[in-house]
Amino acid sequence: MADDMATLLTLQNASVTIQGKALVEAISLRVGSGEFVCMLGANGAGKSTLLRLAHGLIAPTHGACARVPIAEQAMLFQRPALLKRSAEENVRFSLAARDVPYAEQVARTDEALAACGLSALATRYARSLSGGEQQRLALACAWALRPRVLFADEPTASLDLNAVHAVEAVLRALHAQGTTIVMTTHSLAQAKRLAQRIVFLHQGRVTDDASAALFFAGERSPSASHFFEGERL
Amino acid sequence: MIFNALRDALGLIAAADGALFQIIWLSLKVSASATLLAALIGMPLGAWVALTTSRLRTILIVFLNACMGLPPVVIGLLIYLLLSRSGPLGALGWLFTPKAMIVAQTVLITPIIAALTRQVIEDAHAEYKDWFASLGLSVWATVRTLLVDARFSLVTALLAGFGRAVAEVGAVMIVGGNINGFTRVMTTAISLETSKGDLALALALGFILVSMVFALNAVAHAIKRYAARRYG
């Protein structure tokens, strides 16, 4: 990250070990305001664990992790968990959870649903929406919170191509508004479309941390190159 | 004899016999009150046990499950001792009144509602826990949200509790005394009338009790189907 950026997240030699198995090991990372970071890696590389660690859902077993307060963060999960309520009630719920006054909840809900292209579906029950619409609704819940940093854990992993592009468009719009985005994906194409910076993980360790331009131009570690070439790591 | 009793039982129901319906009304009143009280205690308790990370959690789960199998007559005996004139709550004067029966049924079904609620909330929480943690939701806000979200599944827990309460005989017999026109409910009446050989009234009450149990299960099933269709 550039030195003049405000730091939103710092990991210093952070590790997560569960039942003797290191899921991520000795990670040092800084994420600055306004970045769009994609964490790449094969299944089991430790991407989701690192994201959960960065967001604060799990604590490091070694090392340190400093971040902006939880009230300034939001997280998007691979499978959106939505309440058995309407789309707009789900957005309002996430605002109520952060103690946003009711009058403001209504305005911010309308704004977030419009930004995610869901205004017409506001009163539909969340569980009756398609997979792509549900993920955009989860994004609307995050959008309404106006987070400084959004963590997104493979948000398009189970979606068809149209839905993937719709979710990516919302992520771009959110980033354009100034939200820092840290996202995991195993799709090189998606990382190329979205990221400014690539963090590549292999067996729980960061092997590459470079601008997307350099990474895709070929400045990669051997393990990232293997992944890039579609070889089994 | 059986056919005569059956014919007389159907006659009592068809004639909307006053004594019969007084017994049914009291049964419903007592069991509905007990279910309401047990829900107020058991649902938050079950939800809390589902979510707590306390070391007592396992002990509480074992305790709740064990309490589900407590013999009603033992509960009746304990409530009797508490409410009897020389007991710690004797001054209330509740023994041999419907209030004592409500207390006994509440004690009997609270563990059932709490244990079923715990299971429902635990399943719902598994789905939402990361999102709620990400939002910074407090434990009690989580409990409230999950109870509302799982409301249709919890109806089953309530109906299971009501079903157990309305079909219970031992505890209400001990603390209610089976006083005609005052504390006589369907189950105690069936027991008494059978021992007296008046099978018509016992059978009429039996028909109604069994019908109620079937109707409750049908309602629970219909509610769950409706909720699944509407809310997903």
Which residues of B fall below an 8 Å CB-CB distance to A?
A: 127-128, 130-137, 141, 145, 149, 227, 230-232
How far is it, in rounded angstroms, from Cα B97 to Cα A57?
53
pLDDT digits (tens, 9 = 90+) for B164-196: 999 999 999 999 999 999 999 999 999 998 999
Judge contact between B175 and B104, C-beta under 8 A: yes
Residues of chain A with pLDDT under 70: 1-4, 231-233
Q: What are phi and psi of A210, to 5 degrees?
A: -145, 165
How far is it, in rounded angstroms, from Cα A127 to Cα A135?
11
User: What is the distance in angstroms between the CA of the first residue and the CA of the last residue of chain A?
Assistant: 27
pLDDT digits (tens, 9 = 90+) for B54-64: 888 999 999 99
Return the pLDDT at A63. 95
Helix-strand-coil percent breakdown of chain A, rounded to 5?
Answer: 40, 30, 30
Whole-structure pTM value: 0.82
The mean predicted confidence, pLDDT, of chain A is 93
Return the pLDDT at B201. 82
Return the pLDDT at B226. 86
CB contact set of A160 (below 8 Å; sequence gap of 6+) = A131, A132
How far is it, in rounded angstroms, from Cα B137 to Cα A155?
22
Return the pLDDT at B7. 79
Residue of B nearest to A93 (CA): B145
Q: Which of A92, A7, A50 is nearest to A204 (CA)?
A: A50
Query: Strands of A21-32's sheet, edge to edge?
Result: A21-32, A7-18, A62-67
pLDDT digits (tens, 9 = 90+) for A71-127: 999 999 999 989 999 999 999 999 999 999 999 999 999 999 999 999 999 999 999
Q: Which of B62, B95, B57 is nearest to B79 (CA)?
A: B95
Q: Which residue among A71, A77, A97 places its CB closest to the CB of B141?
A: A97
Return the pLDDT at B228. 79
> What is B120-145 written as a DSSP string?
HHHHHHHHHHHHHHHHT--HHHHHHH
3-class secondary structure for A5-39? CCEEEEEEEEEEEECCEEEEEEEEEEEECCCEEEE
CB contact set of A155 (below 8 Å; sequence gap of 6+) = A76, A77, A78, A135, A138, A139, A167, A171, A183
Return the pLDDT at B203. 87
Q: How far is A169 from chain B (nearest CA, A)?
A: 22
The mean predicted confidence, pLDDT, of chain B is 91
List A residues 43-82 in contact with B (Cβ-Cβ < 8 A): 52, 55, 57, 70-71, 73-75, 77, 81
User: CB-based contact (8 Å) between A202 and chain B?
Assistant: no
Task: For residue B91, give the DSSP letter.
Answer: G
Residues of B in contact with A75 (CB under 8 A): 130-131, 134
How far is it, in rounded angstroms, from Cα A145 to Cα A174?
11
Residues of A in contact with B149 (CB under 8 A): 83-85
SS3 B178: coil
The rounded average pLDDT for each run of 10 residues, N- to C-terminus, in chain B (232 residues) is 74 78 93 97 94 89 90 95 95 96 97 95 94 92 93 89 92 95 94 88 86 86 83 72
Judge contact between B114 and B35, C-beta under 8 A: no
Q: Which of B134, B224, B116, B149 is nearest to A127 (CA)?
A: B149
How, if at all, do strands A149-153 and A73-76 pair? parallel
Taking residue A41's Cβ as centre, other Cβ atoms within 10 Å add up to 27
Q: Which of B30, B217, B39, B31 is nearest to B113 (CA)?
A: B39
Return the pLDDT at A201. 96
